[in-house]
Amino acid sequence: MIKNVSVIGAGTMGNGIAHVFAQAGHSVVLIDVAAAQLETALKTIEKNLDRQLAKGTITGPQKEETLRNITMETDIKKGVAAAHLVVEAATEQELLKLEIFKQIDAAAPPDCILATNTSSISVTKIASVTGRPEQVIGMHFMNPVPVMKLVEVINGYATRADVSAAIIGLSEKLGKIPALANDYPGFVANRILMPMINEAIYSLYEGVAGVEAIDTIMKSGMAHPMGPLQLADFIGLDVCLSILNVLHQGLGNPKYAPCPLLANMVASGRKGVKSGEGFYIYTQGSGDLVVSEKFR
Ligand code: CAA
């Protein structure tokens, strides 16, 4: 039975993943090399639990129990020593993930399942640096993790069927909706989402329409909660660029080539919400969406 879950990386995805496992009653160890990042993550989890409390979707005691279920650790080896499942949610860099998987493979119990929250890096490649590739799987949560229902479960080339079934069952117990994909570039979510975002950026680049018109058309016309340009800012323009590069290189089809405007924005440090500017400007504390001066 999967009771003890170790989550590696206390960024946006890691803290959301720790939140949902702890809320479902798991003992969670949240691991990050930076102690300050762990403190920030815990504050974020508390803030998001307070939102749920204010909406009446959880009670005060449930909030307290969720927080009690989370411990923090800066030492990866100690943090995974008693894990039944490790979910890696570190920065989306292949070499970093390969190094982390070598470390967790050496320190986690032999029957522990090793999952990665990667949005596009090959699960099969990650599995290949471990001594247990059949127990390595993709568990791709969506941002914001406490809100979004989907878990894209990705079978690596060697993933065992019972491991896949266990992760699907576990995702359901978290109140999520799992969907299974095989390990090809971008899996399903980003293979379909990123070309749409890229096409929205091309529409802007070629002067078909402005930022607000593109987002309004997709929001009001297709019932998307965010327009594609706002969503790109929310995901991170650097992340969008790197996923498009994985699709382009991995599938070898020019239709996935990232728009030059996206490459320029990332090169100039405009990465969306996290850098304060992308297609829109994000001023601290302001709820209004203001189009970047570059596109007015
Ligand atoms: N934790 C807990 N609850 C949260 C939350 C968080 N981090 N963020 C928002 N919420 C809750 C709010 O409390 C609110 O709850 P109610 O519906 O009960 O009132 C609800 O979510 C909506 O929040 P807001 O009213 O503040 O804002 P909103 O209506 O604009 O919704 C949003 C915000 C949920 C982010 C919505 O805009 C949305 O669904 N956007 C699209 C998100 C999306 O597409 N995510 C996938 C990105 S792709 C990805 O993650 C994968 C990848 O590999 C790139």
The CATH number given to whatever domain includes residue 210 is 1.10.1040.10
Confidence of residue 149 (pLDDT cuts 50, 70, 90): very high
pLDDT at 288: 81
Helix (H, G, I), strand (E, B) or coil at 236: coil
Tell me which residues have their CB closer than 6 angstroms to ligand 1.
48, 51-52, 55, 119, 142-144, 146-148, 189-190, 225-226, 231, 235
Kindly give the number of the ligand 1 atom that is closest to the alpha carbon of 193. 48
Last residue of a domain, which of 124, 159, 182?
A: 182
pLDDT at 2: 97
Say which DSSP state 272 is in. Answer: B
pLDDT at 140: 98
Please tell me the distance between residue 143's alpha carbon and the centre of ligand 1 in angstroms.
7
With a cut of 70, say whether residue 286 has pLDDT above it. Answer: no
Distances (CA, A) of 1 to 21, 36, 83, 135, 184: 14, 32, 11, 15, 29
Tell me what percent of the residues of the chain surpass a pLDDT of 90: 98
Provide the pairing of β-strand 150-155 with 136-141: antiparallel
pLDDT at 102: 98
Residue among 86, 102, 97, 162 nearest 123 (CA) = 97
Which two structure tokens, joined as six digits, stand for 13?
């995805």
Question: Which range of residues forms the domain containing residue 151?
Answer: 4-182
Last residue of a domain, which of 163, 182, 201?
A: 182
Helix (H) or strand (E) holding 137: strand 136-141
Residue 86 near residue 104 (C-beta atoms within 8 A): yes
| 57 & 166 share domain | yes
Please tell me the distance between residue 81's alpha carbon and the centre of ligand 1 in angstroms.
33
The CATH number given to whatever domain includes residue 139 is 3.40.50.720
Residue 92 near residue 119 (C-beta atoms within 8 A): yes
With a cut of 80, say whether residue 283 has pLDDT above it. Answer: yes
With a cut of 80, say whether residue 284 has pLDDT above it. Answer: no
pTM across the whole model:
0.95
